[in-house]
């Protein structure tokens, strides 16, 4: 993930995507993708919820609460309701050894050095405010069972890796498909070693049961907007280390 400049266009629509989720009961499955076209905003989404959202009211509430530099207005609602979304069971993502493992330490250094002049060109996958169209990004706008929970569990695992282990960046591939045997539930690519890390994988499989029910319960108690409004802060329950995690 790329650390977003506060009040940039992509920051605002990511925040709005997550705000839409707060208007849907957390027992429902939802995905929202918000597209900023400068002169109007398209809200594309699918949700198992049946009740139609009042987008005008939600937009007004959002602008009043977060006071974005460019308020959201002139929305086009393309949300599909009563839609059966299957649970996401596979996800690949990269994590980094840093204050918040979603972001590379060099991004954080740049962000902290002078947030007001954060230069997206330092990280090519960042989005410029000059782009004609800007789209919200995963995990924002995604309910827990739409890949977000797997991503957060991966972060929980990453924070438990011993600090002296050589793992500045790790590419995780997690599979929760019950048809897979235990060995295929996870694959680990260690960027430092430029290879699959079977030692780390074996250690993870020894101590993590991939039961994410506790994490789901904790996430339903907290404010998800913190992931954007205070991006270097991390939920304490995600950072809590597994004391049994030892690598020989």
User: Mean per-residue pLDDT for 15-24?
Assistant: 98
Q: What is the mean pLDDT of the chain?
A: 90
Residues 55, 158, single domain; the answer is no
The residue from 45, 80, 115 where one domain ends is: 80
Give the up-direction half-sphere exposure of residue 220: CA atoms within 13 A in the CB hemisphere: 13
Residues 107, 193, single domain; the answer is yes
Find the radius of gyration of the CA atoms of the chain.
Answer: 19
- Which of the four pLDDT bands, split at 50, 70 and 90, describes residue 181? low
Residue 60 is part of which domain span?
A: 9-80
> Containing H/E element for 115?
none
The string of pLDDT tens digits covering residues 37-73 is 999 999 999 999 999 999 999 999 999 999 999 899 9
3-state secondary structure of 248: coil
Residues 96, 216, single domain; the answer is yes
pLDDT reported for residue 124: 43
Q: Whose CA is closest to 61, among 128, 115, 104, 16?
A: 16
In the predicted structure, residue 99 carries a pLDDT above the cut 70: yes
In the predicted structure, residue 180 carries a pLDDT above the cut 80: no
Per 3-state DSSP, what percentage of the chain is helix, strand, and coil (rounded to 5)?
35, 20, 50
pLDDT reported for residue 115: 53
* Cβ atoms of 70 and 6 closer than 8 Å: no
In the predicted structure, residue 92 carries a pLDDT above the cut 60: yes
- Which of the four pLDDT bands, split at 50, 70 and 90, describes residue 112? confident
Q: CATH code at 18?
A: 3.30.300.10
Peptide bond into 2 cis (omega under 30): no
- Which of the four pLDDT bands, split at 50, 70 and 90, describes residue 3? confident
The residue from 80, 100, 128 where one domain ends is: 80
The string of pLDDT tens digits covering residues 189-233 is 999 889 999 999 999 999 999 999 999 999 999 999 999 999 999
Burial label for 167, CB within 10 Å (0-12, 13-18, 19+), is buried
Share of the chain above pLDDT 90, in %: 74
User: Mean per-residue pLDDT for 122-134?
Assistant: 64
Residues 34, 148, single domain; the answer is no
Is the residue at 183 inside a domain? Answer: yes
Distance CA 167, CA 197 (A): 10
pLDDT reported for residue 179: 59
User: How many C-beta neighbours within 10 Å does residue 86 have?
Assistant: 8
């Amino acid at each position: 993930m790329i650390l977003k400049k506060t009040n940039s266009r992509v920051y605002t629509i990511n925040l709005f995507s997550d705000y839409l989720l707060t208007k849907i009961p957390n027992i429902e499955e939802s995905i929202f993708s918000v597209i900023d076209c400068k002169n109007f905003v398209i809200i594309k989404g699918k949700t198992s919820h049946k009740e139609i959202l009042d987008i005008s009211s939600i937009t007004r509430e959002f602008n009043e609460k977060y006071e974005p530099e460019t308020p959201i207005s002139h929305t086009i609602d393309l949300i599909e309701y009563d839609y059966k979304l299957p649970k996401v069971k596979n996800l690949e993502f990269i994590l980094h050894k840093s204050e918040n493992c979603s972001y590379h330490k060099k991004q954080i250094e740049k962000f902290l050095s002078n947030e007001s002049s954060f230069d997206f060109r330092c990280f090519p996958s960042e989005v410029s405010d000059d782009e004609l169209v800007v789209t919200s990004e995963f995990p924002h706008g995604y309910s827990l069972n739409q890949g977000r929970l797997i991503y957060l569990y991966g972060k929980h695992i990453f924070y438990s890796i011993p600090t002296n282990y050589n793992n500045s960046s790790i590419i995780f591939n997690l599979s929760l498909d019950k048809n897979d045997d235990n060995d295929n539930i996870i694959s680990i690519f260690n960027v430092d070693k430029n290879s699959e890390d079977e030692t780390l994988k074996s250690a993870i499989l020894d101590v993590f049961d991939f039961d994410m029910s506790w994490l789901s319960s904790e996430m339903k108690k907290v404010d998800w907007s913190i992931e954007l409004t205070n991006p270097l802060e991390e939920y304490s329950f995600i950072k809590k280390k597994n004391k049994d995690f030892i690598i020989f």
